Amino acid sequence: MKFKDKKNFSILIVLGTRPEAIKLCPLIIEFQNHKNIQTKVILTGQHIEMVSQVLDIFGVKEDFNLQIMKKKQSLGYITKSIIEGLEEYFLKNKPNLVIVQGDTTTAFAAALISFYFGVKVAHVEAGLRTNNINNPFPEEVNRKMITQLASFHFAPTKIAFENLISTKTLGVIKLTGNTVIDALMLIKNKFKYNENQSFRDSKKIIFASIHRRENWGKNIRNISYGIKEIADKYTNVKIILPMHKNETVRKPIQDILNNHPRIELTEPLNYKDLVSTLIDSYFVITDSGGIQEEAPALGKPVLVLRDSTERPEGIEAGTAKLVGANTENIFNFASKLLEQKTFYNEMARSINPYGDGQASKRIVSVIFESFGLVYDF
């Protein structure tokens, strides 16, 4: 590989949550393979333990941590603290490019302060839309605002790419695939998983996860009752549900599902164990965006605990079904997957629409070419 000498060229990658860490680690690794540029990683501290676990598994180290996290942190507090922390950093270390991922408050705040300092922003996983500013909240507004601030837009799918083109988005727009598939393949190859078929023969594992803000309150209880009905009826299942650290999420889940003989409530799984559990699962029930992308890559049907999704590719491909937070819907669709093999196979064998594991290489190539860094594959 040949590059122009750009030793003073600095890239800053900002992340604060577990999904960002998972999806950015492959990109960080790809950039750090090239020693003629500086690649720095800042953690905001929006999440702490869950992010550290991900970085450790991928062998990535942060260069700076804003350490903003506190109990019951509000969106206003998160936004203000990140902007102030990054402003202090930029006054001493102004990068040439800031990279953010997805639709978190970390990503939005980092993009906004970068714009204030005249620093170009690259947005990984750009172009996702529900076109409902309240669902998901605040993610839909966050990602739309980042689109206005960014100079580079890396779309994970054709639909996301077309969303950006159709709204005449300014800047460089590229279809790259989703870096979550890069992450999944890296970890799958690193640890050489084998599906635990003997365990699968005796029990059908259902992996469940609930955390999104729009499901807080009544929705979490309805979802939990749906999961309980599945476990009550089917004695050949085991439901594994890692609980988010947030007490607003944990308490209603524990109130309804604790001590059920076929439900295992756990602490959040590190990414290595998450991948292992997904591989061993029969199907997945989730409101997670990342898992909507990862599970189909492993051939696992997904029941999405939302009324709409910014990832319609899975719905269109047949790998996922929207069931919302409706107790009856959750139970009925789970029953079909458990009882109707044809229905199960149609979902499990659908084509994964989210990428081929090469998204990070494509993103690095675009950045290098745009800034005069010659990059030969």
How many angstroms separate the CA atoms of 225 and 231, rounded? 10
CB 330 within 8 A of CB 223: yes
Q: Which of the four pLDDT bands, split at 50, 70 and 90, describes residue 194?
A: low
Mind listing the pLDDT tens digit for each residue in 9-52? Answer: 999 999 999 999 999 999 999 999 988 899 999 999 998 888 99
What is the number of helices (H) and of strands (E) in the chain?
A: 16, 13
How many angstroms separate the CA atoms of 126 and 146, rounded? 9
In this model, does residue 308 exceed pLDDT 60?
yes
pTM to 2 decimal places: 0.88
pLDDT at 351: 81
In this model, does residue 180 exceed pLDDT 70?
yes
CA atoms within 13 A on the CB side of 143: 26
Q: Provide the phi-psi class of 154: left if phi over 0, else alpha when psi is between -120 and 50, else beta.
A: beta
How many angstroms separate the CA atoms of 229 and 330, rounded? 9
| 196-348 CATH choice from 3.40.50.2000, 1.20.1070.10, 3.10.20.30, 3.20.10.10 | 3.40.50.2000
Indicate the domain borders of the chain: 10-177+358-370, 196-348
Rounded to 5 degrees, what are φ and ψ at 96?
Answer: -85, -25
pLDDT at 71: 83
Four-residue CA torsion sign, 354, 321, 135, 330: negative
In this model, does residue 2 exceed pLDDT 60?
no
In this model, does residue 198 exceed pLDDT 70?
no
Cis omega (within 30 of 0) for bond into 301:
no
pLDDT at 377: 42
pLDDT at 201: 53
CB 109 within 8 A of CB 14: no
Mind listing the pLDDT tens digit for each residue in 74-85? Answer: 999 999 999 999
Can you name the CATH fold of 10-177+358-370? Answer: Rossmann fold (3.40.50)
Any idea which of 50-59, 160-169, 190-199, 283-292 has the lowest mean pLDDT?
190-199
Any bridge partners for residue 65, and if so which? 43
Query: Which residues carry out catalysis?
Result: 103, 125, 139, 211, 213, 244
Any bridge partners for residue 266, and if so which? 242
Alpha helices for 151-246 (secondary structure H): 158-166, 179-191, 197-202, 218-233
Average pLDDT over residues 165-179: 97
CA 157 to chain centre: 14
pLDDT at 196: 53
Any idea which of 45-54, 59-68, 72-81, 116-125 has the lowest mean pLDDT?
45-54
141 Cβ contact partners less than 8 Å away, ≥ 6 residues apart: 133
In this model, does residue 346 exceed pLDDT 50?
yes
Four-residue CA torsion sign, 246, 136, 285, 44: negative
Same CATH fold assignment for domains 10-177+358-370 and 196-348: yes
How many angstroms separate the CA atoms of 368 and 355, rounded? 21
In this model, does residue 3 exceed pLDDT 60?
no
Any idea which of 224-228, 305-309, 320-324 has the lowest mean pLDDT?
305-309
Residue at 331: amino acid letter? F
